Structure 1
Amino acid sequence: MAHVLVVDDDPTVSDVVRRYLEQDGSRVRLAADGLTALAAVDEERPDLVVLDLMMPGLDGLEVCRRLRDRMPDLPVVMLTALGEESDRVLGLEVGADDYVTKPFSPRELVLRVRSVLRRSAPAAEPARLRDGDLTADTGRRLAHLGDRPLALTVREFDLLVFLLRHPARAWSRAELLEQVWGWNFGDQSTVTVHVRRLREKIEADPAAPRRILTAWGVGYRYERTHD
């Protein structure tokens, strides 16, 4: 049974989300503001956080930043306003693994939560992938650059593993969205933001990447630095 923390200052939204997630088999805890949410995470780490972007006081962006500082691998699904692309991108920039726009279908939210939870689970057949000093252990879901552990989100880790497994091939943003996120539609800026964040963590110079390269007119490809 997954433990999900739902953070939203609207009690009607929180109640709907809680009921649908509980029907799907999750144990749900509610928090009506950012400070309460952070205290709840410290008290008992959830398996996933559903986090509203717009809240009075400590907003969702700041809550997500603080969660990432404490627990980089804690999955976060952000709730954002419909049509606010800049808000969605900001949510991804601070480390959200996924987002759902308001007003949303509760069933869609449940499917997104289920997908992120499934991705965050250890691999059934663990593998250790390596490219020079960059390693990814799918069993423990840990990545290192040399001796330094990398603080990767669920989606960043998934993207890295996928690229390590499929070097040299150019992938479009739509293909990466389907292969890594499991979506056959959606905002492709999600991929762009995650690639940028991953470059910042694995490249010596993110502005001149050597591993994750831009395939102009297509998308991205991974070039191994070592055979």
Structure 2
Amino acid sequence: MKDKIFILEDDTSICGLIRVALEMNGLSFKAFSTVADFKAALLEERPDVALLDIMLPDGSGLEVLQFLKKRYPEVACIMLSALTKEEDKVNGLNLGADDYVSKPFSVLELTARVNAQLRRKQRQNIIVSGDIALNTDTMTAELNGEVLPLNKKEYDLLKYFVENAGKVLTREKLLAAVWGYDEGETRTLDNHVARLRKSGVKIETVFGVGYKL
């Protein structure tokens, strides 16, 4: 799955340059020119990195930064701004920004900074797949920024799905990985899958085989 980058920038020429650079690095990219559109997108999916301009036609990127960090604290945010005073940078960093790039900037440098944030994220104890984020230290799971009320086995099952996202997993493999059964009653597995689905997790049934996240 490609890493997903969201950018909030109302200058179409800058967006075009960034798009080319990120796509050349195999990164998925979505651009938004207004605060309203960006916030609406955040309600539907979680980016891996957000690039935020500060001065926008319908608001401030700093406002979006606070909104995003409250909903998805693990998402790396890089501020893009023509405001070059030290106090402007300090303000952005104090509000939760992970990096600050002054305009005009080199797209190669920006891409390097994005990749640095992605590497940093990989070193943390957060596992992300789509809108699901697992914290392996606290053994908690979030869906679209909302904590899921899971018991230990539900968490273990979801973790195995996330670690194997996109793969078809047989019932036997799931029972062995999560419950330690070589074989056994699959009703236990089916009941746990049903509870995860009730929590909003989208798990696909592959008839005659098993399940896929």
Coarse TM-score class (shorter-chain normalised): 0.5 to 0.7
Identify if the C-alpha distance between structure 1 residues 86 and 18 changes in structure 2 by more than 3 Å, giving closer, same or farther: same
Q: Letter of the aligned partner of 1:50 in structure 2?
A: L
The answer to whether the 8 Å contact 2:46/2:72 transfers is: no
In the TM superposition, what is the alpha-carbon distance from 1:56 to its structure 2 partner?
2.1
Which residue matches 2:61? 60
Q: Letter of the aligned partner of 1:27 in structure 2?
A: S
Between the aligned partners of 1:61 and 1:36, the Cα distance in structure 2 is 15
The superposition leaves residues 67-118 of structure 1 with CA deviations (integer Å, 9 ceiling, x where unpaired) of: 1111111111111225322211111111111111100000000000000011
Identify if the C-alpha distance between structure 1 residues 14 and 115 changes in structure 2 by more than 3 Å, giving closer, same or farther: same
Identify if the C-alpha distance between structure 1 residues 86 and 24 changes in structure 2 by more than 3 Å, giving closer, same or farther: same
Q: Letter of the aligned partner of 2:110 in structure 1?
A: L
The answer to whether the 8 Å contact 2:49/2:77 transfers is: yes
Which residue matches 1:43? 44
Which residue matches 2:25? 24
The answer to whether the 8 Å contact 1:7/1:32 transfers is: yes
Between the aligned partners of 1:61 and 1:103, the Cα distance in structure 2 is 19
**How many residues of Structure 1 are paired with residues of Structure 2 in the alignment?**
133
Between the aligned partners of 2:84 and 2:66, the Cα distance in structure 1 is 23
Report SS of the residue matched to 1:121.
helix
Give unpaired runs (5+ residues) of structure 1: 123-135, 150-227
Which residue matches 1:11? 12
Identify if the C-alpha distance between structure 1 residues 143 and 55 changes in structure 2 by more than 3 Å, giving closer, same or farther: farther
Q: How does 1:1-227 map to 2 (within 5 A)?
A: 1-81=2-82, 83-122=84-123, 142=135
The answer to whether the 8 Å contact 2:127/2:136 transfers is: no
- The root-mean-square deviation of aligned C-alpha atoms, in Å, is 2.4
Identify if the C-alpha distance between structure 1 residues 69 and 82 changes in structure 2 by more than 3 Å, giving closer, same or farther: closer
Which residue matches 1:168? none
Between the aligned partners of 2:70 and 2:16, the Cα distance in structure 1 is 28
Q: Letter of the aligned partner of 2:9 in structure 1?
A: D
The answer to whether the 8 Å contact 1:79/1:100 transfers is: yes
Q: Letter of the aligned partner of 1:23 in structure 2?
A: M
Which residue matches 1:133? none
Q: Letter of the aligned partner of 1:42 in structure 2?
A: L
Find runs of 4+ consecutive structure 1 residues off by over 2 angstroms. 136-144
Q: TM-score, normalised by structure 1?
A: 0.53
Give unpaired runs (5+ residues) of structure 2: 129-133, 141-213
The superposition leaves residues 15-62 of structure 1 with CA deviations (integer Å, 9 ceiling, x where unpaired) of: 111111111110100100111111112112111111111112221000
Between the aligned partners of 1:43 and 1:14, the Cα distance in structure 2 is 21
Q: TM-score, normalised by structure 2?
A: 0.57
The answer to whether the 8 Å contact 1:81/1:87 transfers is: no
The answer to whether the 8 Å contact 1:53/1:91 transfers is: no
Larger radius of gyration: 2
